[in-house]
Each structure stands twice: as C-alpha cells, then as structure tokens.
Structure 1
Amino acid sequence: MSALRWGHGASGLRRALWPAGRPGPMAEEGAFSAVWGSRRSSSARPCEQDRWKDWGHAELLEVLEARVRQLQAEGVSEVTVKRAGMARRLPASGGFQPPGKARTGPKGPAADLGDLWAQKLNKEKSAMQKRKLRLEGKLQLQAEDLGCEHELRVVPRLLDAQLAGCLQHWKHGTPQSLQEGQLAQLLQEAPRRPSPEAKPAREARGADMRLEIQQQKLLAFLECCLLTGHLPLAHHVLVTQHSRARQRRRLTLAMYNTVMLGWARKGSFKELVYVFFMVKDAGLTPDLLSYAAALQCLGRLDQNTSTIQRCLDQMARDGLQPQELFSGVPLSPEEQAMVLRAMRKAQPTFSPPPLPPRPPPQVNTSPLLREIYAKGGPVSYPKSHLPLRELQSLFRQQLRVEMATTVAVESVEQARVLTEEVLRARNTLQQLRAEWVEALCLGLRNLKASEGRAARAGRPTVFPFLCVLPEKELAELLLQTLQVLPPQGESLLSLAQQLGVRVFSRHAVRRQRLSSRVRALQERYHQYVRLLASDTPVEVPRLPRQYWEALGPPEAPHEQPWPLSVLVQLGKKLAEMLVEAVRMPGSVAAPQGPCTLIPVLYHVYSFRSFRQIGILKPHPAFIELLATAAEHTLTFEAAEVPMLCPPLPWTSPHTGAFLLSPTKLMRSLEGTVQHQRLLDSCPPADLHGALDALTQLGNCAWRVNGRVLDLVLELFAAKGCPRLGVPAPASEAPRPPEGRLPPGASPAQKAEVRRELARCLKVAREMHSLRSDALYRLSLAQHLRHRVFWLPHNMDFRGRTYPCPPHFHHLGSDLARALLEFAQGRPLGARGLDWLKVHLVNLTGLKKRESLRARLAFADEVMEDILDSADQPMTGRKWWMDVDEPWQALACCMEIARAVRSPDPAAYVSHFPVHQDGSCNGLQHYAALGRDSVGAASVNLLPSDVPQDVYSGVAAQVEAFRKQDARRGVRVAQVLEGFISRKVVKQTVMTVVYGVTRYGGRLQIERRLRELSDFPQEFVWEASHYLVRQVFNSLQEMFSGTRAIQHWLTESARLIAHTGSAVEWVTPLGIPIIQPYHQDAKVLIAGGMQSLTFSQSGDTSQKPNTLKQKNGFPPNFIHSLDSSHMMLTALHCYRKGLTFVSVHDCFWTHAADVEVMNQVCREQFVSLHSQPILHNLSRFLVKRYCSSPRSPKHSKNLWMGKLQDTLKSVPKTGALDLEQVKRSTYFFS
C-alpha cells in the first residue's frame, strides 16, 4: 500500500510517492484510497490561513477527481479517486486527527470556535459542490487549455528504489491489493507531461484553426451573396475587411475572384477594377480566374481596344497565356463566349485552342481487378425484372419526390377514434400552424433585417444564408422540425446543426431545380436504364458506370457544402427565432376569451456527463395537444426514404446515388474535410473498384415481406413485444415513485428516491427512442408495401459500405432484416431448398458446431414445427419464437412452407435472401496476413468436417493454463475451477481484433464474472486480471502472427502520430484512407440565448490524437481489408449475373446461387491475401512519412529514424497454404 503527499514548489503542484508502513483499511471497490502525509513545516496552532490552505487541498482534490473523470472519457484510465478527509497535525502531540472526528476536551471558547468552524464548513459544503460541477464542466470544455504547465496531470515522481521496484513488480505480475492495482493502472496509463515547446505550438495551431474557420465563413458568405443577388453587400464587406489591416490577412485570392466574377456577370467594369487593384494592394498575384473575370466583363461592354490590350499585357507579365483561359478556368459556355469576344477585339485573329479530344476512359490496373475490367471473356451482367417504360416512369416519380424535398408517410400508430375532442385538437393544431407560419415569416423578415444591418457594418453574418430559400418554405421546414422534437427535448447544438444541414440540402436541390440540370438528367437517365431494363438488349456488356460515362461528358460538381461553423450559426439563429415566434394558448381546452400565450419551446439547462448543456424542450401543453390530435402523418426528407428507381451510378466522389439530393461518397462527420480532399486528389481510375461495387449494391431491387409486416404491425398495435424486438410505447415505462418523503427522511432515503427517479426517466427515454425508431421503420415499410424500391449505398472512411436511407434498410436488427426480400426472384433449382433449410437452422443458433449435413437433417426433423410456425405463427406451437433470430426464422419458415407445398420445389421462384457469415472474420484476415496455420484452423480457413469455434478453443486453452497454475498452488486459479466457459471469454476474443487492451478486456471479463451468481464476488477483480492475461496468452499461442501484426500496426501508428501526422494508407482496391482522429478543436459561437461551443475532432490543423490513432489503426486496417474482400466478391458476383448484397462480413444472395457465391467469396479471399499486403503497406508508409532528408542531431529526426526502422520491420509470416481456403466448407457458412 502506498501513501500520497502533495507538496508546493516553484513549479506549482507536484506529486511524490513513497511506501507507507502498514496498509490501512480496505477501500471500497473501484476507489483509490490514500493516507495524507504531513505538511511541510508548521508547529504553530491552527489559524484562519491554515484552514484556507486545507480547503485549498480539498479543492485540488476536487480538481483531481474531475481530471480523472476526464481521463476516463478519453479512454486513458478508469481509476476513480475516493474523496478523503483532510488529516490534521495537532499542535501539541504532532499526531493526526482523524477526519470527521471532533476534538474531545473541556468546553469553552475554543470549543465554541470549533463549533463555528464546523458550521462554516457545513455551510461551504454546498458551495463546494456547485464549484465542483462548474469546474468539471470547464475541464471538459477546455481540455486543450489543460495541456499547459498548469494542467493537473497524474505524473509519478519515483523518489526511491523501493517504489520503482514496486512498479517493476506490477509490470510483470498481479498487484497484491485492489488499491495497488488501481494505482498501477493509473501510473501506467497517465499521459506524459507536455514539453516546454508544446504550448507555443498548440497556440499556433489554435490561431491557424481560427484563421481557417474565419476564411471558410467569409468565402461562403461572399459566394452566397452572389447566389442570392446581394453582390453590393459582398463588395462592401470585402472592401471593409480589406481596409482593416488586422482583418486583411484573412482575405484570400478566391474571395477577391468571387466578387470580381459577380461584377463581371453584371458588366460593372468600374467596380471590378476597384477589386482588381485591391488584389495588388493585398500583395497577391491575380490568377487565370482573375483575368477571366476582367475579360468577361470587357466582353460585355463596348470598351476600347487599348483597355483590353493593357489587361492582356498585364496577364503576360504575370506569366499567364490567353489560351489557358479556355481550358484551365471553370466558366460556363456563355462566359467563355464573352471572354472570346473581348480577346478578338484586341486580337482579331485569335482563336481559342481546339477542344482536346475526349480522353479514352481510364482503366484500373490493379491486379485484383484485372479480370473485372478485362475486355472480352464471359460476362453475364444481371438485368432488372422491370421493362424500360416502367423504369422511366419510376424515374419521374423519384424526381418529383426529390424536387418536393419531403415525403409524407402515413403512420402505423393505431388511429384514434374521431371523437369531438380529437377533431377539436386537430382543428386547433391546423389553426395554430397557419398562425405560426405567419409569425415565422415575420420573424424571418426581422432576422434578415437585423443580420443585414450587421453585414452592412462590414462583417460576415448569416444574412445571405437566410435568403437561399423562400420565407414560407423555411417556415415550414422549422415547423417540421418542431413536430418531431422528442418530449424530453433536444440539445440546442444538435438541433442547430440539423437545421443548418437541412437548409443547405433544400438549397442544393432548389439550385438544381432552377437550372437546366434536371432536363439534362432526365434525358441521360432515360438512355441509361436501357442497360438495366428487361426488354432492351445491350450490344456490348458494360458496367453501369461505364455506360453512364459513355452517354455524355462528366457532370459539373454539386454545390460546395457550407462550413460547419456556418451551419451551426445559421441553425442557432433559426432555432432562437423558432423559440421566440411560436406561441400557443396556455390551455387550448379553455373557453373562448382572452388568454395568455406561452412559448411552445422553452430553453433549459441540463447536465450530461458532467457538462452543462442547453436544451430546447417542447411545452407539455404542446405535447398534450399533439397526443390528443393523434395525427398519423410522418414527414421525411427525400434522402431519408428508399428510392423508387435505380440510383445514379457512382462516377466520381461527387456524383452518384440520389438524383438531386447531395450525397457524400465517403460519409463523415460534418466539418471533416480531409476524406473528400484525399478522394479528390486520387487518380479517378483508382476509385473504379469502389465506385462500381457501391453501384452494384445500390442496384439491388427490394420489396417488403407483407406477411411478416402484418404480424409485426399486430404486435406493435398491441403495445409491443420486447421479447421479439417490438418496442413497447413509453407509456409502459416504469412509473417514478409517487408521493413525498416524510420530513425526517434520511439522506440515504433521499438518495435512493433520486436514483429511482433517474432510472425511470432513463428507461422512459430509451423506450421512446426505440419506439420512434420502430415507428419510422414500420411506417416506411407500410408506405412501400406494394412498391419496388432501391437502397443507394456509400461508404465510411475505412471503405465499409452502408445504405444511405437511415430508417429502413437491411443493416438493422433481426426485425428490420425480416421485413425485406429481393424484388427479383429466382427458381430454387436442385439445391435451393436445402440451402433454405440450412439457413433456417443457422438462424436458430441451435447447431453452430454441427456439419451442414447434420443441420439439414435437423431441419427435416423439425419440419412439423417449421410448417406450424408458417401457418399459425401466433396461435400454434410458436417454435420460431425461441430461436436466436426469431423474425428472420419465421420468414424463412414461411418460404420453406411455400416451396415444399409447390408442385415442383425446384421451379419455385424464391425472393428470399440466404446469408453466409464469416467465422470471426477479423481473425480470419489476421490469420491470413500472418500465414498462421494454427490460427487459420481455429477460424475455419482450413478444411474440416465440422465448423471450428474459436471461442471454445480459447476457453479450452485458458482452462489448460488454469489447471497448471492450480497444481502449482495459485489461489485464483483454484477459485476459478468450473467457471471458465465460452461465454466468459467470447467478448474479449471478439474485440481483440479491434484493438482491445488488457485493461478493457479485464472489464469485459469482470462483467461476465459478476453475472455468475455462484462465483465468489470478492475474487472478481483478481480473477478478471488473471483471466485476461491467460486469454491473451492463449491467443498468442493460437494466433502467433496476430499479436505481432497488431503490435507492429499499433507501434507504427504511435510513432507516426508523434511526428504530427495522421495515419494514412491505401486499401488493396485503391481507396485512400486517413484516420480522422485529432485533438478536439473548440469553436465558440457566442450571443443569443446561449453561447455554443462545439468540438471538431477531425480538424487537420490540430495535433493528431495519439491514443486514438494508435488504438484505431489495427481495427480500421482490418476493416479496410474486409471491405475490400466484400467489394471484390460483389464485383465478381455481378459479373456472373448474381444478385448480391452484404452486411459487412455477411453476404446475401438467392438460395439457388449460394454455391456460386461461396466459390467466388473463397477465390477472392485467396486472391486478396495473395498480394503482399503488409509489405505494400510498409512501402507506402515509409514513402509517405520518411521520404524527407533529416539530420541525426535533431531530436525530431531521431524519432523519424526510429519510425523508419519500425515501418520497415514487417512481421514475419508462417507457412499457411492459402489455397486450402477454397476447400473450406465453413469459411463462410
């Protein structure tokens, strides 16, 4: 046991540790207790100053508690600090007075003074609690500022060899007590003290970040001014910013060019020249776009030739050629004509360079994709089951939906009886909404006037962004947002961001609607669907992307997204206006007459994870009115609903998926731009594999399984069935305790009531969220019940694919998957029925360790139960309800019943998707990377008669280690006899591939042990430490290459992050990846009802987050490999004419095609891992991070040398023969 002592010195707070004598009483579990040492020197009696010093110690302890919580939030440690009383040195004896004990002795003035002091302490206790909450919030909001020299960090100072020996012992063995273990954990995972030069570097990064945000906001403001017809305002703001020396540094050439282009389009030469001279005055050099604006303006005017010639002479002095104006500048055809007109006034013989011949389509040369893009060879691309006319009609329907921007869907919530009360409530709501639209329009006009005045003062505001949509459309958008606010409210920050994003999306769609793009899109799409239609032959088989590109030139990129700071600021202004403008009578049921109007929304503060946040909460009277009216119409954004026609093929990082709604190829948090920049700089051909795979996944047509939907709706209307995954309404949540506590209730009783109240509120919130999610999914399913629909896909930064519509898709729960089936059916064929039976047994989870033959035999044994489930799902034996995936099992029972009862099961046309799952897919990739034969056998990379279970194998290995230790007399090994099972180790084994640490693994095992009622709980901590060590040892033996590869990836990422860079790599299919983990950048938006501070963890101007970079690299790299395997399988299945979709490492196809898909899946896994993946990664990282020359004397270059050595030290591999994977039955099964 160790003790702690806090000392004061010139450098501020510091910590010293030394061994104490006998350990004190055992602290509570999860706490870190200590004995306080004596203060430096004081033999004088206590005085007021000493008392305040003691309170200073207490305040520092409060800071430490908050800091440890912050370390927990950052994933650094999970040690808590137990609140300890301050021990006092008595002036006479020099002993310690135990905290909380009164001094005994004769009563008198001294005793009275002590009583007063105790009263004062009690009085200040409440104030200290409030200060503690404020301090904890400040620590989290200003985490970056805590990195300076005043930051309180847990930094050990080893004062003697004895303590160093203790830490060395803890490093190799288990601590002997709870306190020692927590102390060891805290010391090992505490962050390092920042270097002296860290503060200036951080301040410089902060200044750069603020400058970049200001530049983004100003450029977006100027561009939006041009779009909304407020060019004079843009000019005025630019001139004002230019005239102020401190603000001029934020101006860029793009800003001047934006305003010059605006004047050029209006033919205002005088104003354009004024801006042109500002460019020179700012010390910038005009570029091609600057001169294109000037010549365009001159072409619109009858200027003399000398003016144009002077412009051309200046252009030549700047080293620019006139011919470049027609190839290197993004101008419309009309603008190019004006430039040419001006040129020919000065040089009548001038001719623009001829348009270069259209380059031949680029071809991806990756060896993995060579067969996909090879000319010739047998190709059987699938066709849709719909004819050309129907596909063209569906396109027009989808176009109307996206132009309307929203979709109204009937809710499946049980409709209320239309009583007089319901009708009155609906009529009231209708009247209120009409009044609210008028009030919001008035509020918008006032807000525009206010923001316009501020803009005319010379600073960018949200004024032009408020003008991008008509007032009525913007008011209706705000009312739609109000309609879906949850009863518990929404944080102002979240709501502001949602509003800003919705305004931008509507603006982007409106811009396209008002341009000529819609007509061009319609003509091109009508030609494109000839490739897909069932009744139009295609002479030369092509992929959808290739066919689309052949129909015309590349499309212009969509609208540039607004910066996150603009989105939040705009949304905040709109939310504040919504609070101010929308009011209702205090009691809508009151008789007619004068009544008080109350706000529909009110602003409150609440604490979440020790942070105080502002919440906009609907008034209970409004919630009651909505509940009484019971309107059953839900409104969704067009991009939140599946498409009614095949999506646009992905042809670039900017174009694909929805017809008009802007969609990112690589989804990311708002404000994270590095992924898009990386994709834009990537050679187009390198992305072809990912683009074509995403297009293929999106081209799969779906339909709703009506029989399953009917049963789910029946349960949903009957207040749900949580056992089957149908959420109950929030009205079924446990009620909070009623009544008041008696006046003499103890603090423990009060605390218990508060805990129970918090638990009830938490359960109610969770139930409301689950019910709403199910309501959206089921309402959309009912809306699309008799339709064919499509799910466009995009990917995350690792390359993993996801459907774009968020509410209704096949990546959801068991219930969500059971509602979907393929719209295009295929006959079962000779083996299709057998695969349906095997799939059903897989869904039950009853025969995981059995062979396919045994699973098929089991399906035949329970055929009576299968048919009973299909015929009488709610009234029969209900066999399907007791399996792992009940709804999918029920859907499969129904499909099997229809097939076996058909005249010819082989000819039965099945729409049911059959799944094949990878066997612990992450470990499969690790075993293949390391050519690890033992590990490969454990995860079914090698042929076997029955499937191998890696979790049972690890449990058996751990049990073998335990028996050895038990024989040697290890107490914890003896206690664990009979308690080591598959369930105890499964979660840790699963998450090892995702970079779980020993500490995280210990917590997982601790939770499993606590679930065992007969396990002695006093041994949980020690047993979990023992087991996690043995699990890692077992994995080390079973997967000898896995841990070495993980360590190499982690260490490489750590060193890369220390050089100030984020980790980048390229997937085997050519997708560029960058990890978006940086130190949080705090952005403040002040003013209004509340100042907002939000964090941007993906800001590249900030230092990389070393912990997240190193912990994230191994799992993210493996995810990029499993996505590459999936994409290769998708492309080759498409080439063979199969329908294919996936849920990451779970592949779906028709029952008749399972064997073909299995063959493709195995072939592509072998093909992928036949590439030198780790050596290619090593070469890329060395080239990316170690190519600059370095001097051996510089400390940073010493890091670079270590980094280069590490990156080149690729782990050695074993002798696994990958070709055996092709013969493994249970690789995917």
Structure 2
Amino acid sequence: RRLKKKHFVIECDPLVHEGFESTARHVEIPYLPMLVPPTKWKGYDKGGHLFLPSYVMRTHGVKDQKEAIKSVPRKQLRKVFEALDILGGTKWRVNRRVHDVVETIWSRGGGIAGLVDKGNIPLPEQPETEDPDEIQKWKWSVKKTKKANRELHAERCDTELKLSVARKMREEDGFYYPHNLDFRGRAYPMHPHLSHLGSDLCRGVLEYAEGRPLGKSGLRWLKIHLANKYGGGIEKLSHESKLTFVEDHLPDIFDSAANPVDGNCWWINAEDPFQCLAACMDLSNALESSSPHGAVSHLPIHQDGSCNGLQHYAALGRDYMGAAAVNLVPGEKPADIYSEIAARVLDVVREDSMKDPATDPSVPLAKVLVDEVSLLPAPLCLNQEIFFFMYLFFNKTVEDLDIGSLQVDRKLVKQTVMTSVYGVTFIGARQQIMKRLQEKGHITDDKLLYDVSCYATRVTLDALGQMFQSARAIMAWLGDCAKMIASKNQPVRWTSPVGLPVVQPYKKYKNYMIRTSLQCLALRREGDAIATQRQKAAFPPNFVHSLDSSHMMMTAITCKEAGLHFAGVHDSFWVHACDVDKMNQILREQFVELYSMPILENLLEEFQTLFPTVEFPPCPAQGNFDVREVLTSTYFFN
C-alpha cells in the first residue's frame, strides 16, 4: 500500500512577523545612495559604486548577454555609458516637509494617502451553523483574509525600508543614484528602495538638491504639474484647463501646504497624493513670496509620453491614424486613447445588447455592461472640456463622470490598452478587466463576472486591433522573425539605435532533484535549448523597450549639453520647472532624429547578416505620417 506524501513547512511565529515590522528600519542596506558622484562607466564592471561590486547590466547570470556586452568595443557603448553617467550624476535630497507629513501619518497608523494600514483585517467569525456550504464559505473567507493580511505585512515592511533610507539621508545636503541597465537597455537606479523610480511615496519625499528660480514659464509648468499629479482625469485636459483648475483650487492648495495633516487635506484625494502635496508646498511658497517668478524650486517637473509604446509603433509604421490617437499629431487638446477605445467598446456593447438573445449568446453579457447608464448622455461625456467644467460644477473627479456607462469607462480598458503593445495575452487582459469590474462592485456573482470579463476583453482587443492595424502588423512581423531565429536554436539578438547589444535570455530549463535525509530539493538550471514561444512572444515588447530607452538616453545626453538637470523613468522625463520648455524641444527633436533612422530596415539587415540561411519576410509597409509633425505637437509628452 502506497503511503500518502506529506509536505512539511516551517513557518515563523506571528510574533516574529510583528518583530520584523518594528525592526525593518534597522536592517542594514548595502547599496544605499552615494554621497559622492558615482564613478563613470568604462566597462561591464567598471563604474557606479566606488567599492561595492557594480555591473553596467543586470544579466541575472545569462552568459549570452554578458558576453555580448563585453565583446563590443567601448566606443560603440559611448552613448550608453554617457547617459548612465548623466542619470547617476543628478543630485537629490530628501524633501523634509513632505517627509515630516509621511512620518506623522505613519505614526498614526497609516491607512491614508496611499500608505498601507498598520492594522490587520479582522478574521471573520465562524458561523453558528452546521450547513456545509456556509462553513465552506467561511473557510474561504478566512483564507482570503489571511492572504490579504500577509500582503499588508509585506507592504508595511517595504514602507519601513523606504522610510529608513529617508531617515538616514534626511540630513545630507545631497546624494546620488548610480544607474545600470536591464538587458533591453532600460535604466534603473541601483539602490532598490527609496528612489525616483519608486512609488508615489518615494517620489514625494525626493527632490533635486540644487534649486533653480521658477521664472514665468516655470511657474506655469509647476501649476500644470500639480494638476497632473492631482489626476482624476484632470491630467487629460488641455494646459489652459489645468491652469484654470489650479487657480480655482488655490485655497485648497494653500491649506494643504500649511496644514497637510490637520487641515482640509484636499491633497489626500489626489491620484499621487504625496507628489501633489510636494507641488502644493512648492507653489504655495512661490505665490506667497514677494516675487513668485524668482522663487527657487527644487521640484522635478514630469513630462510623460502619451501611451508611449503605441507612440513608438505609430512612428515605426508611419501610421497617421495611430499617431493622431497618441498625440504625435498636433492638436488643441490632448487626444486620449483610453477614452477613444472605451467609446468604441461601449458602441459595440450597446449594439450587442440590442440583438436577439436567441441567436447571439453575448447579448446577456452586453446587457450587464449597459444596464446601469449614467444620467449624462454619451456624446456630452465624450467631450473632455465639458468633463472639466462638470467637475467644477459637481465637485467630482472626472473619472466619476464616465462615458455613458457605469461599467464601460476609461479605467476599465486603460491597463489593457497600455500593456497591449507589450504582449499582453487574452488571459492577462481578462484578469485586468475582471479586476476593474470587481472594483466597481456591480457584479457580485463570480461566474457572471468571469463571463462578462471574457466578453469585454474580446471586444476591447478587437477595438485595439482595428485602431492600430499598423502596430499589429509590425508586432506580427517581429514575432515571425523571432520564431524563425528561435527555430535555429538561437536567441533573438539585435543592436539598439544607441549601440547597445541586446540578447533575449529565454531558454528552456532543466530540473534537478537533490535528495537529502530531510527533504527533496528541486533546482532549475538554464539549458542549451531555446524557448521558441517565449522568444517570439517577448520580442515585440522588448524591441520597443530598447527603442524607448534609446530615446531617453539621446534626450539625457542633449539635455546635459544644454545645462539641464535631467532624470528619467523610462517614458517620463524630469527637469526643473524653468527648463521644461527647453526639454520639450529637445525630446521632440531627439524623437525625430531616432525615427529618421531606417530602424526596421536596419533590424532586418542585421538579422540577415547574423542568420544568412534564414529567409526573413520583408518589412511591413509604412504609411504617410511625417514624424516631423511631432515637433509642433504640444501633447506628445505633457
């Protein structure tokens, strides 16, 4: 008779977990921010920290990538090293006023402004019944609550680590973040906890160590930045509407700056509350000074790409329709691709809801999505400027005034649209949409929620495919090329426009079992066989990431030459308020320079050189969009 297998798990006592939360601030962190400028990069392991081991790329032990970057001449990597030196040479400091607010809220138990609550969720009480169904529901409820509490514990430890770094760095005049790359060329600070790459909490407590006078344009950009950080749909309005929004809320802004914890706390309702608070304090200081234009600001002002992945695809394919949807084409107000896709989805759902249920099984699902329609007529809601004035009238966030349905709105499709160009699968998109529907709380039945999510996902992906046919064609071409290369048991490799060699690391793994007297360990080791499907699926998003990182590096180098203090987080570029106009000009010029290169043709030529026996398909046909229109597009980055 075979004995049942038993699994033994060693767990920490709850008291140990509690102790971790209180001692996290005392954990020694080796890779802290540097108090002196980082060493300039000169090779794979030469640069960054003075004494700690530093590598220009995070290869995670992948030999192919490590050998590729070591094999190219240093001259080819000049722009890459220069851009990393610029990012690492930006001097930061702790924003003490914001840090004080964070510490006050944290000492009071957290739970507001995005800070995790220090208290656990109470476990549900066992029902006084012997009904098996009720008992099972209770057990599932207990399991879900324990899982949520474990996640809260992890968030509390993470917050403590971030705050412990802020406490250590608080009294320093300034510090630096050495940067390195992932295998696609995206730059990251080497310090893992408190950096400008992190959450709203991290970004709120950091500012430039060097201040610069605002000037007239800087004061304007500071107000626009504040509106962007408040969010709620305000960030999608025209610049003039954002300025009006700030002017109408000056009493709230002054109160937030003067009494951030015990006042009206207007800033807490922002999408990025601590960054909004920092902007409130900076703007309040300027407006209350004798010379607002002469006020010195340390705040980095962000200019973010408008669905940046689709921007790169539109430029690659010279697709005018796609370019107009993501603000590569000049317009009086920003085009909002998320609202556009949501409107298309809602049109399809409304049409489906009016069909005969006997002939179309999707009719009941469509009806669920359109049953609860807002009082505002859809054409009116689609006008974003009217959105804004409704916001002023009703004192609601723009997100509350949706496009005509309580279910189908901008937020429902946003994450799926964002990740579509990065290879999101149907299952991944369904999970994203299901989560949004769960948050709305209108569908309580799990089976119905699943079915409606599948239906909404299919309609959303269809709408995306219709609107971005050129992007789909390029993605399909990249995937076909990757499949051909992987069929030769070779990883996909290419050179980015700034000279960085990129090698995809996806291989099949071998499993090894190691038996001991106590247990059996399963270890995984990278094999020699290529994971064909992963190489194919990952190539389109990885290739686009290598392009957006190239654009960021080109912009960083030119900003440095112009005397600007530049920081970048992938498709979000930061400078002082007074320098935003100059950076906007530079980043547009560098985008045009990037796409003046025959990028797809160069890629095909490189593939043909590396794999001469493979017959690759020709590059996809291009449209008639003139990429130089970006130079006059106000909302390309905004």
The CA distance in 1 between the partners of 2:70 and 2:100, in whole Å, is 47
TM-score normalized by the length of structure 1: 0.46
Look up the match of 2:294: 907
Q: Please point out which of 714, 727, 738 is paired with 2:104.
A: 714
Residues 1182-1222 of structure 1, C-alpha deviations (whole Å, 9 max, x = no match)? 2212x25xxxxxxxxxxx4xxx1xx3321101000111101
Q: Is the 8 A contact 1:696 1:1131 kept in 2?
A: yes
The CA distance in 1 between the partners of 2:71 and 2:179, in whole Å, is 22
Q: Is the 8 A contact 1:1062 1:1074 kept in 2?
A: yes
The CA distance in 2 between the partners of 1:1115 and 1:1002, in whole Å, is 19
Q: How many pairs does the alignment contain?
A: 594
Look up the match of 2:77: 687
Look up the match of 1:564: none
Task: Give the secondary structure class of the aligned counterpart of 2:8.
Answer: strand
The CA distance in 2 between the partners of 1:1051 and 1:850, in whole Å, is 39
Look up the match of 1:1034: 463
> Equivalences for 1:460-609 in 2 at 5 Å?
605-606=8-9
Structure 2 letter corresponding to 1:642 = P
The CA distance in 2 between the partners of 1:693 and 1:947, in whole Å, is 30
> Equivalences for 1:916-927 in 2 at 5 Å?
916-927=303-314
Residues 252-296 of structure 1, C-alpha deviations (whole Å, 9 max, x = no match)? xxxxxxxxxxxxxxxxxxxxxxxxxxxxxxxxxxxxxxxxxxxxx
> Equivalences for 1:882-893 in 2 at 5 Å?
882-893=269-280
Structure 2 letter corresponding to 1:638 = P
The CA distance in 1 between the partners of 2:24 and 2:349, in whole Å, is 60
Q: Does 1:634 align with 2:57?
A: no
Residues 443-483 of structure 1, C-alpha deviations (whole Å, 9 max, x = no match)? xxxxxxxxxxxxxxxxxxxxxxxxxxxxxxxxxxxxxxxxx
> Equivalences for 1:476-875 in 2 at 5 Å?
605-606=8-9, 615=10, 617=11, 634-639=26-31, 641-669=32-60, 671-721=61-111, 723-729=112-118, 732-736=119-123, 745=130, 747-748=132-133, 751-787=136-172, 788-846=174-232, 847-875=234-262
Q: Please point out which of 1209, 1214, 1218 is paired with 2:627.
A: 1218
Give the CA deviation at 1:1021. Answer: 5.5
Q: Does 1:1153 align with 2:545?
A: no
The CA distance in 2 between the partners of 1:631 and 1:985, in whole Å, is 41
The CA distance in 1 between the partners of 2:97 and 2:637, in whole Å, is 29
Task: Give the secondary structure class of the aligned counterpart of 1:649.
Answer: strand
Relative to structure 1, the CA distance from residue 1213 to residue 622 in structure 2 (aligned partners, 3 Å threshold; closer, same or farther) is: closer
Give the CA deviation at 1:759. Answer: 2.8
Residues 492-522 of structure 1, C-alpha deviations (whole Å, 9 max, x = no match)? xxxxxxxxxxxxxxxxxxxxxxxxxxxxxxx
The CA distance in 2 between the partners of 1:622 and 1:933, in whole Å, is 59
Structure 1 letter corresponding to 2:146 = L
Give the CA deviation at 1:1058. Answer: 2.1
Task: Give the secondary structure class of the aligned counterpart of 2:502.
Answer: strand
The CA distance in 2 between the partners of 1:872 and 1:1010, in whole Å, is 35
The CA distance in 2 between the partners of 1:1161 and 1:1076, in whole Å, is 31
Look up the match of 1:351: none
Q: Is the 8 A contact 1:1009 1:1015 kept in 2?
A: yes
Look up the match of 2:523: 1094
Q: Is the 8 A contact 2:477 2:620 kept in 1?
A: yes
The CA distance in 1 between the partners of 2:108 and 2:434, in whole Å, is 39
Structure 2 letter corresponding to 1:766 = E
Give the CA deviation at 1:738. Answer: 7.0
Give the CA deviation at 1:622. Answer: 6.9
Look up the match of 1:158: none
Q: Does 1:1121 align with 2:547?
A: yes
The CA distance in 1 between the partners of 2:577 and 2:492, in whole Å, is 42
Give the CA deviation at 1:830. Answer: 2.2
Structure 1 letter corresponding to 2:476 = H
Structure 1 letter corresponding to 2:541 = P
> Equivalences for 1:170-569 in 2 at 5 Å?
none
Relative to structure 1, the CA distance from residue 632 to residue 966 in structure 2 (aligned partners, 3 Å threshold; closer, same or farther) is: closer
Q: Is the 8 A contact 2:24 2:160 kept in 1?
A: no
Residues 1034-1066 of structure 1, C-alpha deviations (whole Å, 9 max, x = no match)? 223322210100111122222222221111111
Give the CA deviation at 1:1026. Answer: 4.4
Query: Percent identity among equivalent residues?
Result: 41
Give the CA deviation at 1:734. Answer: 2.6
Give the CA deviation at 1:1075. Answer: 1.0
Q: Does 1:1075 align with 2:504?
A: yes
Give the CA deviation at 1:620. Answer: 7.0
TM-score normalized by the length of structure 2: 0.87
Look up the match of 1:1131: 557
Structure 1, unmatched stretches of 5+, are 1-123, 135-603, 607-614, 1189-1199
Q: Does 1:1055 align with 2:484?
A: yes
The CA distance in 2 between the partners of 1:745 and 1:958, in whole Å, is 46
Give the CA deviation at 1:831. Answer: 1.2
Structure 2 letter corresponding to 1:784 = M
Task: Give the secondary structure class of the aligned counterpart of 2:102.
Answer: helix
The CA distance in 2 between the partners of 1:1044 and 1:746, in whole Å, is 56
The CA distance in 1 between the partners of 2:24 and 2:324, in whole Å, is 55
Residues 334-360 of structure 1, C-alpha deviations (whole Å, 9 max, x = no match)? xxxxxxxxxxxxxxxxxxxxxxxxxxx
Give the CA deviation at 1:754. Answer: 3.8
Look up the match of 1:878: 265
Q: Is the 8 A contact 1:791 1:804 kept in 2?
A: yes
Worse-superposed segment, 1000-1009 or 928-937: 1000-1009
Q: Is the 8 A contact 2:513 2:520 kept in 1?
A: yes
Residues 649-680 of structure 1, C-alpha deviations (whole Å, 9 max, x = no match)? 111111011011111211132x3222211111
The CA distance in 2 between the partners of 1:737 and 1:960, in whole Å, is 42
Look up the match of 2:346: 959
Relative to structure 1, the CA distance from residue 1088 to residue 781 in structure 2 (aligned partners, 3 Å threshold; closer, same or farther) is: farther
Task: Give the secondary structure class of the aligned counterpart of 1:1044.
Answer: helix
Relative to structure 1, the CA distance from residue 1092 to residue 968 in structure 2 (aligned partners, 3 Å threshold; closer, same or farther) is: closer
Q: Does 1:997 align with 2:425?
A: yes
Aligned alpha-carbon RMSD (Å)? 2.7
Structure 2, unmatched stretches of 5+, are 371-404
Give the CA deviation at 1:906. Answer: 2.0
Relative to structure 1, the CA distance from residue 638 to residue 1003 in structure 2 (aligned partners, 3 Å threshold; closer, same or farther) is: closer
Q: Is the 8 A contact 2:41 2:84 kept in 1?
A: yes
The CA distance in 2 between the partners of 1:1033 and 1:728, in whole Å, is 40
Q: Is the 8 A contact 2:114 2:273 kept in 1?
A: no
Relative to structure 1, the CA distance from residue 850 to residue 605 in structure 2 (aligned partners, 3 Å threshold; closer, same or farther) is: same
Residues 287-339 of structure 1, C-alpha deviations (whole Å, 9 max, x = no match)? xxxxxxxxxxxxxxxxxxxxxxxxxxxxxxxxxxxxxxxxxxxxxxxxxxxxx
Give the CA deviation at 1:800. Answer: 0.7
The CA distance in 1 between the partners of 2:154 and 2:88, in whole Å, is 28
Structure 2 letter corresponding to 1:904 = S
Give the CA deviation at 1:1010. Answer: 5.1
Residues 749-779 of structure 1, C-alpha deviations (whole Å, 9 max, x = no match)? 5544543443343223212211111111111
Q: Is the 8 A contact 1:690 1:1127 kept in 2?
A: yes
Structure 2 letter corresponding to 1:987 = Q
Task: Give the secondary structure class of the aligned counterpart of 1:892.
Answer: helix
The CA distance in 2 between the partners of 1:820 and 1:856, in whole Å, is 24
> Equivalences for 1:65-80 in 2 at 5 Å?
none
Task: Give the secondary structure class of the aligned counterpart of 1:810.
Answer: coil
Give the CA deviation at 1:1002. Answer: 3.8
Relative to structure 1, the CA distance from residue 777 to residue 1034 in structure 2 (aligned partners, 3 Å threshold; closer, same or farther) is: same
Instruction: Compare relative contact order (CA 8 Å, sep 6+) and give the higher one, 1 or 2.
Output: 2
Residues 1088-1121 of structure 1, C-alpha deviations (whole Å, 9 max, x = no match)? 754433223xx3x431112221111111111111
Give the CA deviation at 1:981. Answer: 2.5
